Amino acid sequence: MSIMVPSTTPALITPGRQALDSALHQLDRAAAHLGLDDGLRTMLATPRRSLTVSVPVRREDGSLDVVQGFRVQHNISRGPAKGGIRFHPATDIHEVTALAMWMTWKCALVGIPYGGAKGGVAVDPSQFTTRELERLTRRYVNEILPLIGPEKDIPAPDVGTDEQTMAWIMDTYSVNAGYSVPGVVTGKPMTLGGSLGRGGATSRGVQIATLAALGRSPEGVTVAVQGFGKVGALTAQYLSDAGCKVVAVSDITGAVHDARGLDIAALRAHAAESGGVHGFAQADAMAHEDLFELDVDVLVPAALEGVITEANAPRIRARLIVEGANGPTTPEADEILAANGTTVVPDILANAGGVIVSYLEWVQNLQACSWSSGDIELKLRELMLSAFDEVKALAAARGLTLRQAAHVIGVGRVAEAHRMRGLYP
C-alpha cells in the first residue's frame, strides 16, 4: 500500500514537505523495529482527517485577504485529537500533517489519553492588527468547527498564537454551542478556565528533560537557545534559574552572546519592549548560524523545523541537544550527531510538558475544578521523568538513540490501541 500524501516534484519541496518526510522516516524506523505489518504502518502514516480551508479576512483598509488554513487529525485511536494551532507564513498541509503525527507519538509516549492533531494558518501575524487577527481566528474556527470539540479535538497554542488566540477560539466555539465550553481549547487565560502552569509548561518540561539528561549538577553548564518566543525565552530563564549559564540566544531579529552568561530576565524585558533580542546592550551580537556551532554543553533549538541539518551537524560542539522545537533535526543530521556521540533528547519527549499541562487543564475544565500550581508541577515532573526513564532504559537495552526509543514506545502504544480496537481488518 502507498502512503496517501500529495505528491510533489523536487522543485516544489517545501520546508513542510521536508518535515513530513522526516516524520515518515522516523515512523518507518519505529515500525520496522516493532515489526508492524505494512497495512498498519500505512494507517499510521496516513492522517485520519485532514481539512484545508479558505479564510477570508477583512483588513483595516477595507480590502479582503484570503488565506489558507488547515486542521489535521493524525490519529484518534487513544482519545480525542490534541495539538496546537500555528500562525506562520510558511505553514502548509505537509508541515501540519508532520506536526500532527508527532503529537500522536508524544501523547502516547507520555501516557496521556489523546491522539494527535495540529492546525495552521498561513499568515505572518506580525503583519496583522489585533482586530484583524481576531477576525481571522474567529473565521478559521468557524471553518474547522465540525472537527473540534472537547471530546473530539482540542487545540492549543503553537508558533504565532497565544492565550488571546485561545480565548477567541473558546468564545467562537461557545457562541456556536450556545453555552460556555472551556474544554474545547487549552492554553487559555486563567479567567476563562486556563490552568496554572500552562504558560511555562513546555519550558519547564525542557528544563526537567535537560537536567535529567545532564545527570550532573547544572551549575555552570553552558547553554545556547535558538528561538526566544513562548518556549525559548522561558527555557532560557528556567535553565538559568537552575544554575546553567545561558551564553547565547536568538530570535528572528538576531542573536546575542555573552560568554559570562546572559541576564535572561533583563533580556526578556528588552525583547518585550523592543520586539526582539537584537540590540540588547549587555551582550555582543552574533550571526544566527554561529549559535549552533558554539562551544557549549547544551543546545536547545526552540524555533522551527529543519534547522539542524547535514550541513551544520558536523560542526555542532554541544554534547547534548534538547529539542524544545518540534522537528528541528533532520534524519541526516541525526545520523551525524549519533556517530559523533552527541545525545539528542527528542522533541516528542523534551517538549511534552506543554501538552501534559494542557491535559491537566482539560481535566480541570471537564471536572469544573482548579488545582494548585504545586499539584500541576508535581504531575508534570512525574509524567516527564517517567517517560524520560522509559526512553533511556529502552535505548540502553536495544542500542537505540533516544529518538528511536521514544518513537518505538510512542508508535508501539498507538499500534497496540489499533490492534485492541480492531480498527483495521
Ligand X SMILES: O=C(O)CCC(=O)C(=O)O
Catalytic residues: 118
Closest distance between ligand NDP and the C-beta of residue 159, in Å? 4
Q: Which stretch binds ligand X (CB under 6 A): 9-17, 206-214, 348-356, 409-417?
A: 348-356
Q: Give min distance, CB of 326 to ligand X, in A.
A: 5
Cβ-based nearer residue to ligand NDP, 188 or 230: 230
Which residues, 392 to 411, sit near ligand NDP by CB under 6 A? none
**Core vs surface per residue 278-310: b (16+ CB within 10 A) or e:** bebeebeebeeeebbbbebbbbbbbbbbbbbbe
Residue 89, Ramachandran bin (φ over 0: left; ψ between -120 and 50: alpha; else beta): alpha
Tell me how far CA of residue 77 lies from CA of 65, 83, 179, 217, 349, in angstroms.
Answer: 37, 15, 28, 40, 20
Q: Select from 30, 355, 360, 376 the one that contacts ligand X (CB under 6 A).
A: 355
Closest CA to 78 of 117, 29, 41: 117
| Residue of 20, 85, 224, 231 interacting with ligand NDP (CB under 6 A) | 231
How many chain residues are in contact with ligand X, going by CB under 6 A? 13
As measured in angstroms, the least distance from the Cβ of 18 to ligand X is 18
159 binds, among ligand X, ligand NDP, none (CB under 5 to 8 A by kind): ligand NDP
Sheet containing 284-286: order of strands: 284-286, 254-257, 245-251, 222-226, 298-301, 320-322, 343-345
Binding mask 61-100 for ligand X (x = CB under 6 A): ---------------------xxx----------------
Binding-site partner at residue 186 among ligand NDP, ligand X, none, CB < 5 to 8 Å by type: ligand X
Told to check if 160 binds ligand NDP by CB under 6 A, we report yes
Q: Which residues have CB under 8 Å from 247's CB, separation 6+? A: 222, 223, 224, 257, 258, 259, 260, 261, 262, 294, 296
Burial of 276 (0-12, 13-18, 19+ CB in 10 A): middle
CB of 114 to ligand X, least distance (A): 8
Residues forming the site for ligand NDP (CB under 6 A): 84, 157-160, 202, 226-232, 250-253, 276, 288, 302-304, 324-326, 351, 354
